[in-house]
Amino acid sequence: MEITGQCYCGKTRISAKNPLSVVLCHCGDCRRASGAPVAAFVAFDEADLTVNSGNLQNVEVNTGVLREFCGYCGSPITGRYDYLHGTVYVSLGLLDQADALEPTLHAHHDNRLQWLHLSDDVERHGTSARDALP
């Protein structure tokens, strides 16, 4: 499946293939970085992802976690984690095919907002799901 997407302003474009997993992350860092009650990411091998932008910016608040965003509109684009070498996580909401990319697991489920009740039946990890990720 060819996957395409773009940021809010359209100046950062994404093309990818071969999604590895779709993760819903409930940790406080991902919630803050995404501005959402739960963050949703699609994992790709670095070789299967192209991000075209004239102004991609990054921030590393926590050592080993690099987050990239569009320097024009601020949309969160990717997350790269030293402990998941070679894998890039793209914000699901940017992708044109988001509806076809169903979650495969929940990470940090013990940190979810208590009022958030998702009725899917995918695997839930109370803390990090790094051992279950590609």
| pLDDT score recorded for residue 133 | 67
Alpha-carbon distances of 114 from 109, 110, 111, rounded to whole Å: 10, 9, 8
Residues 48-77: pLDDT tens digits? 999 998 899 999 898 889 999 999 999 999
Against a cut of 0.85, is the pTM above it? yes
Of the chain, the percentage scoring pLDDT greater than 90 comes to: 75
The angle formed by the CA atoms of residues 34, 35 and 37, to the nearest 5 degrees, is: 100
Alpha-carbon distances of 115 from 27, 38, 39, 80, 118, rounded to whole Å: 15, 12, 15, 29, 10
| pLDDT score recorded for residue 131 | 66
Distance CA 25, CA 33 (A): 11
Element of type H or E holding 67: strand 65-70
66 or 132: which leads in pLDDT:
66
Domains of the chain with bracketed CATH: 2-120 (2.170.150.70)
Distance CA 34, CA 22 (A): 15
| pLDDT score recorded for residue 17 | 97
| pLDDT score recorded for residue 126 | 75
